[in-house]
Structure 1
């Protein structure tokens, strides 16, 4: 291959896309568990002491921050990367097809 030629491993781009989608699925499962498995009802930390309510509210505040700020931004980032990987793969595949047709214009 000369220095003016390029090679793109489309299978590698497919692999990256599959892995990113796997990360998205795992994040969705984790987000669901976080939303539904970490509920802290009144009295769960004890009763008749003033800090119980503060602890529950701090828990809910941190839980919301993790879900809305951290997980949401990570999910958006991974989704964006997955979409860009897919588009890039498609663009390279189109170029490969165009190059093949340019070399064999009659399809013979």
Structure 2
């Protein structure tokens, strides 16, 4: 039961971050972006980057919700699906952001 509560707290935290980022705010929360110099940051569309990360936070929170549901219902398959979704989203985020200059200003 403790695992369910911890996972639900994480879901709520990720949803709050997702909502905040979806509004185009909170770029200082994005690792790598927050350490760039001001001149480097000026090359990127901050609002689009934040909105993308907000959407990804929704996906990550859903996968964590599956972990909690797995623990609550004692269905191991839900945990496996949630873990595959979580890992897949992380890989997708890393590849999508680091290829194609999608978030650079034109």
Band of TM-score, shorter chain:
0.3 to 0.5
- Computing the radius of gyration from Cα coordinates, the structure with the larger value is 1
Larger RCO, structures 1/2 (Cα 8 Å, 6+ apart):
1
TM-score, normalising length from structure 2? 0.46
